[in-house]
Structure 1
Amino acid sequence: MRDLLRQSMRWAILISLVTALLAMVLTLVSSSFLNGLPWQGGLLVVLLIVLIGVFFDMLGIAATAAQERPFHAMASKKVAGATQAVGIIRKADQFANFCNDVVGDISGIVSGAAGFAVAAALVFSMDLPESNRFLVEAVLVGIISAITVGGKAIGKSVAIRYANELIFQIGRIFYFFEKRFHIRVFNVKTKKKRKRKRGVLRAPRTD
């Protein structure tokens, strides 16, 4: 129990730092893109951020729904990506936490902030009165929220039905990075069966 709590605490601290860093980077990048774009381009950027959040949410659900057993036979045949898929499934809690909570929540926050920026650009380009700005912002935020929730609903259905296929494709991506750049994310330890030592049969002791 202590080891589990210790590992959970380490992961919580690490993922919190990663979340803060990613949130700052994505906010700066999206702000720099939106400053030089018209509202149409800004809207495309917002939709792209929403789609990234939906995609990663789908991967997180797939990791928790995938079955490990089919990949063992593939790994024994040395199929590229099978071992990495096993690693994803064994670390499904951390993988889902990163995909759903880190990337998903950051995408939601950044897309909401970017939506307000796009609404302001739209109001300015159309020369609308300031009183209409709140209406435009409300409509845009409503559209972004509807796309996010609807996309995640579709993504969850796809993730649950095709969990193994999705995780296998992600495993192949990790395999590529591992072989090409020597970046190993998941360290899968195989369980070796211990061989029983054959004892020598001895005659019963007689007095």
Structure 2
Amino acid sequence: MKKKQRFNFRWVIRTFFLTFLLAVIFSIISETLLRKVSIFAAFAMLLTIIMIGIFFDAVGISVAAADEKPFHAMAASRVKSAKYAIMLIKNASKVSNFCNDVIGDIAGIISGTTIGIIVSFFDQYNIPDTYQALIAIGISGLVAALTVGGKALGKEIAIGNAKQVVDFTGRILYYAHLAVQPKTYIGLFKRSV
């Protein structure tokens, strides 16, 4: 008899609302910032958004491709970030979904919005509508090529160096956890009585 596939509907609902919330927050931030900057700063922000999408895509792929065993050895040697790397690998489907789909799609949507804002800068230069349309198409093509090409390169790096990428990500999570919860290292600063 065939085993029934179980779906984690709680994760699906959480992802839905998390994606909505993050998309709204990042859209508000990007809209607010982009309306107040120069065209060159807008292009810099666009490239940053593309790089964030590429980075998270690489993390999602490496987590799915990494082997857990080396991180258990690191944890046994008391490497504190190793437990975060193990947690990432044990939750590979969720981490991959979050990195590749949630962050990746939000980065794509925001980069599209950014292109629209950049094109609106050309209104102040009295460029005819036909040329503005051609510029928008050119920028969209360039952004798509940078995104897809960057993700292709990122995937090659992530698959070939999955352990290093997961280790790096685990370290980031470890230090982020220390920054968010300073009580974990408060014992270092105890007053001697």
TM range (shorter): 0.7 to 0.9
C-alpha RMSD of matched pairs (Å): 1.7
Alignment of 1:156-171 (within 5 A): 156-171=155-170
| Distance (whole Å) between structure 2 residues aligned to residue 111 and residue 48 of structure 1 | 9
In the TM superposition, residue 124 of structure 1 has moved relative to its aligned partner by 1.7
2:117 counterpart letter in structure 1 = A
| Distance (whole Å) between structure 2 residues aligned to residue 177 and residue 35 of structure 1 | 31
Q: Whose radius of gyration is greater, 1 or 2? A: 1
Q: Tell me the TM-score normalized by structure 1.
A: 0.82
Tell me the number of residue pairs that the alignment of Structure 1 and Structure 2 aligns.
180
The answer as to 2:138 corresponding to 1:139 is yes
Counterpart for residue 67 of structure 2: 67
In the TM superposition, residue 3 of structure 1 has moved relative to its aligned partner by 9.2
Alignment of 1:69-88 (within 5 A): 69-88=69-88
2:116 counterpart letter in structure 1 = F
Counterpart for residue 41 of structure 2: 41
Counterpart for residue 188 of structure 2: none
In the TM superposition, residue 164 of structure 1 has moved relative to its aligned partner by 0.5
In the TM superposition, residue 83 of structure 1 has moved relative to its aligned partner by 1.3
1:62 counterpart letter in structure 2 = S
| Distance (whole Å) between structure 1 residues aligned to residue 143 and residue 152 of structure 2 | 14
In structure 2, relative to structure 1, the CA distance for the partners of 1:71 and 1:112 (3 Å cut) is same
Identify unmatched segments of 5+ residues in structure 2.
183-193
1:104-137 Cα offsets, whole Å, 9 max, x none, are: 000001101111210121x223321122221111
1:49 counterpart letter in structure 2 = I
The answer as to 2:102 corresponding to 1:102 is yes
Deviates more, 1:19-28 or 1:129-138: 129-138
In the TM superposition, residue 169 of structure 1 has moved relative to its aligned partner by 1.3
Counterpart for residue 91 of structure 1: 91
In the TM superposition, residue 9 of structure 1 has moved relative to its aligned partner by 0.4
In the TM superposition, residue 180 of structure 1 has moved relative to its aligned partner by 4.5
2:54 counterpart letter in structure 1 = V
Identity of counterpart residues, as a percentage? Answer: 36
The answer as to 2:157 corresponding to 1:176 is no
1:158 counterpart letter in structure 2 = I
| Distance (whole Å) between structure 2 residues aligned to residue 80 and residue 169 of structure 1 | 12
In the TM superposition, residue 176 of structure 1 has moved relative to its aligned partner by 2.2
| Distance (whole Å) between structure 1 residues aligned to residue 5 and residue 152 of structure 2 | 36
8 Å CA contact 1:116, 1:141 repeated in 2: no
User: The residue matched to 1:67 in structure 2 has which SS?
Assistant: coil
The answer as to 2:154 corresponding to 1:155 is yes
| Distance (whole Å) between structure 1 residues aligned to residue 6 and residue 78 of structure 2 | 32
The answer as to 2:33 corresponding to 1:24 is no
The answer as to 2:9 corresponding to 1:9 is yes
Larger relative helix fraction: 2
Identify unmatched segments of 5+ residues in structure 1.
184-207
| Distance (whole Å) between structure 2 residues aligned to residue 155 and residue 177 of structure 1 | 23
